[in-house]
Structure 1
Amino acid sequence: MATTQHYLWAAGHFLLLICSLRYFLAKLLFRAVSSFWYKASFTGALVSYAIVCQKSLGVPQPNAAWIKRALLDENVQYFLLAFWWWTSRPVTFALLPYAIFSLFHALTFTRTTLMPQFLPPGPPAQQGAAPTPHPLAKKLQLWVKANYDNAMKAVAFTELLIMGRVIFGTLTFRDALLSPFVYAFFLRQRWYQSKFTREAIAFVHAKILGFVNSPGKPPVLSQVYTQFAGIIARFGGSSLTAAAGPNAAGAGAGAGAGAGARRQ
């Protein structure tokens, strides 16, 4: 039996989905759109992530151990980032990862909680066994399982794209000066916690290396990028070159799949 808290969690995801869809459609059609839809989207994210954080971490404790555990929690990181976006000037791409997450959460909630209330179960697989899910619920479950990894790859590449957008926005005085630093620390944690992020970074790194080292390119390009990659690697506490090696092919395949998931 779903609790009130569970329904509030789902409501946050549905709010995020509906409002972000409204915002995306306006942007795609080059129409003016109120920032209300952007704020409402991240309000939904804040509600859902706050509930998850409370369930996993409990009541906040004023001690270093609890704070450290909270900051290492992925849900807390996404909650804090959502709060940053909520308080900042709208960055359209910033909504996309949250919308993808919410799509899968909303579909799962629909299958496990809403559908059983309105759709009759299927016949049991064998006599005396429990009823099987409704065929529509089964199809939904299979779709979620089949597309989850591709969607996470899409999220990883989108989060890298957001970094570029944030840097550009700061250089053109459209975004706060702190935005690149806040987002860089977020991506640093994603590197450690998400294989999809590591694969996305490895793929992009390999592509850039191939470009700057290709015949006809001035050597200074390779030198500048090597120094830049070294700075990023020291900041992340890892080696970009090592990450780009054995995983480069797999990351390339993931990029293609991720792009497909982004269009769905």
Structure 2
Amino acid sequence: MATTQHYLWAAGHFLLLLCSLRFFLAKCMFRDVSAFWYKASFTGALVSYAIVCQKSLGVPQPNAAWIRRAMLDENVQYFLLALFWWTSRPVTLALLPYAIFSLFHALTFTRTTLMPQFLPPGPPAQQGAAPTPHPLAKKLQVWVKANYDNAMRAVAFTELVIMARVVVGALTFRISLISPVIYAHFLRQRWYQSKFTREAFATVHARILAFVNSPGKPPVLAQVYNQAAGLASRFAGSSLGAPNGAAAGAGARRQ
């Protein structure tokens, strides 16, 4: 049976999803939009992730072991990043990974908690067995399972694009100069914890290498990129590391 905390968790995802959709639509139509919708989106994220973090880590403990465990938790990482975005100048793309996570969580909550309250169950698979889910709920479950991996790949590539966006924004003084540093640390942890992020890095790296080494390109281009890639590799190598069995990046999990 769903608890109040579970409903609050879901409410955070629905708030994020609806407000980010409002913000995205305005941006896509080149209309001015209040930063309220941006902050409301990340408020929803903070609510959902705070609940998940509390459930998985319990009451904060003033010791190094608890802090280390918290910093290695992907939900804590997304919570802290959401807090950073909430306090920073709006970066539209920053909403997209959270919105994708929330879409899947909202659909799952709808299927498992809301639909059974309004839709009658289907007939049992065999006599004496439990009723089957409503056909609409079953279709929703199939869609979520079929599209989950592709959605996580989209998140991984989007997070790399966000890195480029914050670097450009910092160089043009449109956002804080510390933003690339904070986001680079976040991506470093994602690389260790998410196979989708590693795949995205490998794909982008291969395409850039093919471009800089293609005929007609000045050799200095490849040299500069190789040096930059080497620096990035050394930076990633100093990561805290991922705990055993780290998840592939699913955002605030269902509670």
TM range (shorter): over 0.9
Structure 2 counterpart of 1:110, one-letter code: T
1:30-59 Cα deviation digits (max 9, x unpaired): 000000000000000000000000000000
Structure 2 counterpart of 1:162, one-letter code: I
Corresponding residue for 2:234? 234
Shift of 1:232: 0.3
Shift of 1:194: 0.2
Q: How does 1:84-103 map to 2 (within 5 A)?
A: 84-103=84-103
Runs of 4+ in 1 over 3 A off after TM superposition: none
Q: How many residues align?
A: 238
Q: How does 1:157-176 map to 2 (within 5 A)?
A: 157-176=157-176
1:166-191 Cα deviation digits (max 9, x unpaired): 00100110100110000000000000
SS in 1 for 2:121: coil
Corresponding residue for 1:222? 222
Identity level (%): 85
1:20 corresponds to 2:7: no
Find the aligned partners of 2:169 and 2:220 in 1 and give their Cα distance.
26
Corresponding residue for 1:156? 156
Find the aligned partners of 2:184 and 2:77 in 1 and give their Cα distance.
12
Name the structure, 1 or 2, with higher relative contact order (CA <8 Å, separation 6+). Answer: 2
Unaligned runs of 5+ in 2: 239-255
Find the aligned partners of 2:187 and 2:231 in 1 and give their Cα distance.
15
1:68-124 Cα deviation digits (max 9, x unpaired): 000000000000000000000000000000000000000000000000000000000
Relative to its length, the structure with more helix (as a share) is: 1
Shift of 1:237: 1.1
Find the aligned partners of 2:131 and 2:46 in 1 and give their Cα distance.
37
Find the aligned partners of 2:130 and 2:171 in 1 and give their Cα distance.
60
Structure 1 counterpart of 2:214, one-letter code: S
Unaligned runs of 5+ in 1: 239-264
Corresponding residue for 1:131? 131
Find the aligned partners of 1:5 and 1:119 in 2 and give their Cα distance.
23
CA RMSD of superposed structures (Å):
0.6
Corresponding residue for 1:201? 201
SS in 1 for 2:130: coil
Corresponding residue for 2:210? 210
TM-score by length of 1: 0.90
Structure 2 counterpart of 1:82, one-letter code: A
Structure 2 counterpart of 1:27, one-letter code: K
1:10 corresponds to 2:10: yes
Find the aligned partners of 1:90 and 1:127 in 2 and give their Cα distance.
56
Corresponding residue for 1:188? 188
Corresponding residue for 2:34? 34
